[in-house]
Structure 1
């Protein structure tokens, strides 16, 4: 009877020890973390309450072993617990409540026949031999030990994968705008709010590309930290989309990014075969750079030509702003912009200047030409009164193939030539009207005469419409046609052909607006004042055509 009961107890003990082994094995999983190290961590958690409540000299050790299980007729792995510093006591002095720290002499001699009272003896015990209070302490300790072990496993697995790209699943959006993510192996990742690309759609259960940025060992939650605005994404896109970059013919010198808003990339040619590194990246009809922009969703990207000359590098880095000159004073570089271009040079919330400073590694301050003059700075101001810039980020639709190639171009407006064509077209329209003779009177009410101020209004309206339409077609970085023409390596014949087509596109668009006026004017009677009205004396101030502010 006692034998059967003992065997039953032994089976329970074996099952507990085997389950403990399975538990530890699951923690380790497929990692390279060693079972021996895990056993040490768990041994310490068992020893703490025993040292505190029973014996400060107790030394606990968990061991991996195997025992024969007659039910399966083979050895199975188990985890056994021992107090290596137990003490032998007389049989009549033995206390059952202290069986973890002491063993009666008769039982000790079953292990070692030569053992005596007060000798040190190894005592095996199970978790059930602990008091409820100690069990609670041990279990909480094991939970913490498990977290620490999993943390070490995660560190070992990902310490060499910083800056690598992963696909993560969205688990939760936190109140502060951060996100909890999950990798394919179920490892959780933290995405801080300031590392979130606001252009991305991060819905629960969706997947997103992330870059592992940091391992925060002090974190009590996910120790892996990621970003969706890494500059590495730009490097990867350029390497994949631009063969000259992939082949090492063009070097990406630096990348600075305000994720979801704007990125600046400085490049330089490493081979004499590259005549124009910027043109190589832009591609024919802007095809290459547009492919990259599409993959960045709404984020703008500026491709900057690198220069070893700091002043020139700063000037390039502030694109798409036109900078008249760069003056160094102390450790600061003053970038002087035309008054009308100051906001463009600084950018919304200072983004353009900030990215340019980070790209060049220099302190940059943008000031207007007027302020530079007041400060007594000597600079080249030849462009101040000569150039009119038009810029917009509003997309156009239904473009012809001819206009498509200019949709991303920032250009200078040749006002004299363009508006002389406009004026001639308008005069032709008025001449046609003046030549029409009234036929017979009709009984219908007369339409109101179009007075001079109404003509002015129509002309003003048409100019505004022209300016609005013209501002639709634009690109968002440094390489306007003027930039290319400054490059001594640029193909001059190709430049001249592009200039001709740009000029024609600008004139045709404006003239088309005035042809529409013909139709409107023909609906009105023309009085003598209108017949004598001419555009030659019109006072049109072209300086009001200022560049629009951009993000």
Structure 2
């Protein structure tokens, strides 16, 4: 075995990121297999590769015994002592058994095994790299499409974008550059398999972390995300720093930050609301852009009743109930929306101390005062 092989292993280690020790171990295992197969030997053998000289030798390992039953695996103590007088029973002796033409046979037989082990080691490197990227975002290039998947190149490996993880308002073409969210990394017999998504709420969260420095450095925290991919999303944000406007930080100067994310998601509308540990305030914020007159909370069934002006009812509910549905997902509270007229007929509004009295404009505030006077 020439020293050029070891130079090649060093180069392979640099190019593929596979440890040379792993490859050497694979070669030794392959040579042992080749020796046993080609020379009909069942004995316990060890292959010694000399990295300095580029040579290899095969040693048969035999147990030193009092009485020999299998000459392939055992050697008598008398014969062992003829080699070295210090051998005792139960010692292991190594005898060189390298065949003359072993190099040629070994090279032919070991090639496939070594290739397989190198491939496995390379797959292991890729798996180790991508398992740490789960729930992270990467930029990939669309390679090809079929009825089940879009195949996205992430550099060393192709990821699978299933049909149900594709945004309904997007059309993908080969060579398109897209950002994807890694949902799962699996180790299979054919190597690592990576699944990605364009619809996962985590994609929206990661995009905000990229675009908004205050989120990246922890000044602003994303508390929750609700998403109907390709159409509309809501995120709630919060900052412990009272001098920082969490919503304004996410919107950015002239809306540049959120607009960059909207462009990446092909026009998906995004509502950014301020999180609160008070469910009344949080639910009211989550129903943005609708105005809210009052919120009552039922802790037993984690439900809320929200009163909105009559002209805001359809806005609060949203198209096909989307606004209310996203608000419920965002807050984790059930939301029952009622118009002001319906609430008045049910006798649940107005009530003294209604939460959002100060948020009404002049006309609505005057109406609110009249209603309170009637109650009093």
Give the number of equivalent residue pairs.
327
Q: 1:30 to 1:307 in 2, by over 3 A?
A: same
Aligned to 2:98, what secondary structure does the other structure show?
strand
**1:472-499 per-position Cα deviation (integer Å, ceiling 9, x unaligned):** xxxxxxxxxxx99729xxxxxxx89xx9
| Pairwise CA distance, 1:328 | 2.4
Over the aligned positions, Cα root-mean-square deviation in angstroms equals 4.8
Aligned to 2:120, what secondary structure does the other structure show?
helix
| Pairwise CA distance, 1:180 | 3.6
| Pairwise CA distance, 1:227 | 4.0
Contact in 2 for aligned 1:166/1:211 (Cα 8 Å): yes
Match of 1:123 in 2: 97
Superposed counterparts of 1:324-363, under 5 Å: 325-328=295-298, 330-336=300-306, 341=313, 345=317, 348=320, 352=323, 355-360=326-331, 362-363=332-333
| Pairwise CA distance, 1:302 | 0.9
Normalization by structure 1: what TM-score? 0.46
Distance across 1 between alignment mates of 2:48 and 2:183: 37
1:85 equivalent to 2:57? Answer no
**1:310-366 per-position Cα deviation (integer Å, ceiling 9, x unaligned):** 243234324445666454253432455779947963765x76555444433x25355
| Pairwise CA distance, 1:153 | 1.9
Match of 2:222 in 1: 252
1:314 to 283, 286, 293: 283
What 5-or-longer segments of structure 1 have no aligned partner?
1-12, 68-77, 88-100, 103-112, 383-482, 488-494, 500-551
1:63 equivalent to 2:49? Answer yes
1:192 equivalent to 2:161? Answer yes
1:364 equivalent to 2:338? Answer no
Contact in 1 for aligned 2:222/2:235 (Cα 8 Å): yes
Contact in 1 for aligned 2:138/2:154 (Cα 8 Å): no
Contact in 1 for aligned 2:208/2:261 (Cα 8 Å): yes
Distance across 2 between alignment mates of 1:357 and 1:261: 17
Match of 1:153 in 2: 125
Distance across 2 between alignment mates of 1:182 and 1:244: 28
Distance across 2 between alignment mates of 1:59 and 1:254: 61
**1:457-481 per-position Cα deviation (integer Å, ceiling 9, x unaligned):** xxxxxxxxxxxxxxxxxxxxxxxxx
**1:140-182 per-position Cα deviation (integer Å, ceiling 9, x unaligned):** 5434322320122224445555555543333222430232414
Distance across 1 between alignment mates of 2:207 and 2:358: 28
Q: 1:140 to 1:341 in 2, by over 3 A?
A: farther
Contact in 2 for aligned 1:170/1:182 (Cα 8 Å): no
Superposed counterparts of 1:496-511, under 5 Å: none
Match of 1:181 in 2: 153
Q: 1:52 to 1:378 in 2, by over 3 A?
A: farther
Q: 1:120 to 1:65 in 2, by over 3 A?
A: same
Q: 1:246 to 1:312 in 2, by over 3 A?
A: same
What 5-or-longer segments of structure 2 have no aligned partner?
64-71, 74-81, 86-92, 364-376
Contact in 2 for aligned 1:315/1:326 (Cα 8 Å): no
Q: 1:142 to 1:247 in 2, by over 3 A?
A: closer
Distance across 2 between alignment mates of 1:366 and 1:45: 69
Match of 1:216 in 2: 186
| Pairwise CA distance, 1:306 | 1.0
Match of 2:28 in 1: 43
Q: Which structure shows the bigger proportion of residues in strand conformation?
A: 2
Distance across 2 between alignment mates of 1:32 and 1:284: 43
Q: 1:131 to 1:86 in 2, by over 3 A?
A: farther
Aligned to 1:124, what secondary structure does the other structure show?
coil
Q: 1:127 to 1:217 in 2, by over 3 A?
A: farther
Q: 1:175 to 1:341 in 2, by over 3 A?
A: same
Distance across 1 between alignment mates of 2:335 and 2:142: 41
1:170 equivalent to 2:139? Answer no
| Pairwise CA distance, 1:308 | 0.8
Distance across 1 between alignment mates of 2:153 and 2:213: 34
Contact in 2 for aligned 1:28/1:35 (Cα 8 Å): yes
Normalization by structure 2: what TM-score? 0.64
